[in-house]
Amino acid sequence: MKKNVVWWPAIVHKENAHKYGDYNYFEYTRKSWEYWCERNDVLFVPFTEPVEDDLFRFRPNWQKIIFVFDELDRLGIEYDQIFLADSSCMIKWDAPNIFELTDRKFVGWNDKDNMRWIYDSIQGYKSFFDGFELDQYSYISSGVIIFNETHREVIEGFKKLYLDNIDKFIDLQDNIVKKGTEQTPFNYWLQINKVELNLDLPTAFKLTHMHRKELFSHNWQDGDDKTPFFIKYGYNWVFNGIPKDDRSNLIKQTWDLVGNNYNMDTAKHDKILDEMLHKDTAKYTTSRKLKSDILKEFGNDKYKDKTIVEIGASQGHSTRMLSHIFKRVIAVEWDDWNLEQARNNNSDRDNVEFVKMDLYYDRWEDHLPDDVDVVFIDAGHEYHQVKMDIENSLKRFNNPILVFDDYGLPPGEVKKAIDEKIEDGVLKFHKFIGEKSEDLISQSGTKFFDMEGCICNFG
């Protein structure tokens, strides 16, 4: 199966270390891409060993483009779209999946950070390309581009162009133009071959020369929030244009600030959670953290063959999360419109069964099997309703684990029903889950007075 690929060039050019600074930052930028790729089901392919060892004649900037298809073939990778992102790029942990935005065209971003440098470079290479009039306003950076298998021919042609003119290109870049390596020749080649470019993707995916744009600053009006602008508003942070000796330290400082978000152990969970809505944007579901806590608690081999009943499926967002954990999910809902939405939101999940049932009038034994291991209770929120849900669960099922949502929902009837059963010894409290009261405000504006949820009868 073909997969989207992040092609990450990170060849250490020791002889040019004085120009590029040290390479310690590779550690941090690489971790960011590995996490993002895992979360978005993308294949991370680092390019760390050169195809040609002569890094004077075959500089890494050239090799990253002209040998990309050769290397993917050598590795046996069946690629779809390819995102070439230089090693100085760090991707934000929750950046959207950019491959879904490309329209399957050759994607680039206008390079406008140093228009004089670009103009001089274009003029310097113009004679080599027989006076071709290059459109400077379609000039792109070669360090952040996306292409696919349909562009193989044009890139292979660029490789041949270089191999046929190596000495001439070296002389141009080192002695005559002195403005970059492959970027301007590549722009000429794309425009000469009339490659259709998609230049419309958000700037957030290529934040360059961030120091010039004061993106390392923060909004002093936000009080204690000193989060830099580039972290708040950007997706792909390109640490270029800054003194090379400062780059590694700056990237390390960034990692120290946000590195806790790149936890590979939770990357698969984050990918699941990205599939559904959460309480901050949808009233009738749980918070992202509560779903995450359930994934952590039950997302292991012990529960992969178990059955869960969801009491109160609503529109099926939590149902979808549960379907990634348990072998069988029985989702109970009484409202026809909610049931329709829930089915739509889980149409691609083959282990979910929906049951239309009024929990407080219908007999549970007429609608639900008895071989259930876990019950997720999130239905009526009045005291007598929660009490009935607990009693019916314990009566119908064999010593199930009970997971509760909305424990701290005002005016407190859910909490009262649960606490009474714990005090009476009917339930054994295990742990709280979800958001703390001070952190939890639903999309409707409801403020909780205690923890969002809890688990009882665990273990």
High-pLDDT (> 90) share of the chain, %: 86
- Residues 213 and 112: beta-carbon distance below 8 Å: no
Structure tokens at 426: 């009917």
Considering only 274-278, 330-334, 366-370, which range has the smallest mean pLDDT? 274-278
Q: Which residue has the higher pLDDT, 128 or 437?
A: 128
**Cβ of 384: how many Cβ atoms within 10 Å?**
11
Can you give the C-alpha Rg of the chain in angstroms? 28
- For the segment 154-185, what is each residue's pLDDT rounded down to a tens digit? 999 999 999 999 999 999 999 999 998 999 99
Q: How far apart are CA 7 and CA 11, in angstroms?
A: 12
- For the segment 365-377, what is each residue's pLDDT rounded down to a tens digit? 999 999 999 999 9
Of 357, 353, 415, nearest in space to 390 by CA = 415
Mean pLDDT of 222-228: 82
- For the segment 230-259, what is each residue's pLDDT rounded down to a tens digit? 999 999 999 988 877 789 999 999 999 999
The H or E element containing residue 374 is strand 374-377
Per-residue pLDDT at 18 exceeds 60: no
- Please, what is the average pLDDT of the chain? 93
Q: Look at residue 155 in the predicted model and tell me its pLDDT.
A: 98
Mean pLDDT of 251-271: 92
Q: Look at residue 123 in the predicted model and tell me its pLDDT.
A: 97
> What one-character DSSP code corresponds to residue 196?
P
Q: Look at residue 17 in the predicted model and tell me its pLDDT.
A: 56
Check for a shared fold between 3-264 and 277-456.
Answer: no
Alpha carbon of 408 to those of 113, 417, 456: distances in Å?
51, 12, 15
Q: Look at residue 220 in the predicted model and tell me its pLDDT.
A: 77
Q: Which residue has the higher pLDDT, 445 or 77?
A: 77
Per-residue pLDDT at 21 exceeds 70: no
Tell me the longest C-alpha to C-alpha distance in the chain.
89
Per-residue confidence at 226, pLDDT binned at 50, 70, 90? confident
Per-residue pLDDT at 225 exceeds 80: yes
In this structure, which CATH number among 3.40.50.150, 3.40.640.10, 3.50.50.60, 1.20.1250.10 belongs to the domain 277-456? 3.40.50.150
Per-residue pLDDT at 20 exceeds 60: no
- For the segment 46-61, what is each residue's pLDDT rounded down to a tens digit? 999 999 999 999 999 9
- Residues 428 and 414: beta-carbon distance below 8 Å: no
List residues bridging with 432 in a β-sheet.
454
For residue 266, give the amino acid letter.
Answer: T
Where do the domains of the chain lie? 3-264, 277-456
Per-residue confidence at 28, pLDDT binned at 50, 70, 90? very high
Q: How far apart are CA 407 and CA 413, in angstroms?
A: 8
**Cβ of 247: how many Cβ atoms within 10 Å?**
20
Per-residue confidence at 113, pLDDT binned at 50, 70, 90? confident
Q: Where are the beta strands (DSSP E) in 213-333?
A: 236-238, 307-311, 328-333
**Cβ of 66: how many Cβ atoms within 10 Å?**
23
Please state the φ and ψ torsions of residue 363, each to the nearest 5 degrees: -80, 125
- Residues 88 and 247: beta-carbon distance below 8 Å: yes
**Helices within 127-165 (DSSP H only):** 152-164
Q: How far apart are CA 409 and CA 260, in angstroms?
A: 30
Of 305, 236, 299, nearest in space to 265 by CA = 299
Considering only 2-6, 243-247, 273-277, 339-343, which range has the smallest mean pLDDT? 243-247
Residue 411: cis peptide before it, omega within 30 degrees of 0: yes
Question: Whole-prediction pTM value?
Answer: 0.80
Q: Look at residue 15 in the predicted model and tell me its pLDDT.
A: 64
Q: How far apart are CA 62 and CA 53, in angstroms?
A: 13
Contacting residues for 73 by C-beta, under 8 A, at least 6 apart: none
Q: How far apart are CA 280 and CA 261, in angstroms?
A: 19
List residues bridging with 90 in a β-sheet.
237
Q: How far apart are CA 161 and CA 174, in angstroms?
A: 18
Mean pLDDT of 97-101: 96
Q: Look at residue 153 in the predicted model and tell me its pLDDT.
A: 97
High-pLDDT (> 70) share of the chain, %: 97
Q: Residue-wise over 180-201: b if at least 16 C-beta within 10 A, else e?
A: bbbbbbbbbbbbeeebebeeeb
Per-residue pLDDT at 459 exceeds 70: no
Contacting residues for 347 by C-beta, under 8 A, at least 6 apart: none
In this structure, which CATH number among 3.90.550.10, 3.40.50.2300, 2.170.120.20, 3.30.450.40 belongs to the domain 3-264? 3.90.550.10
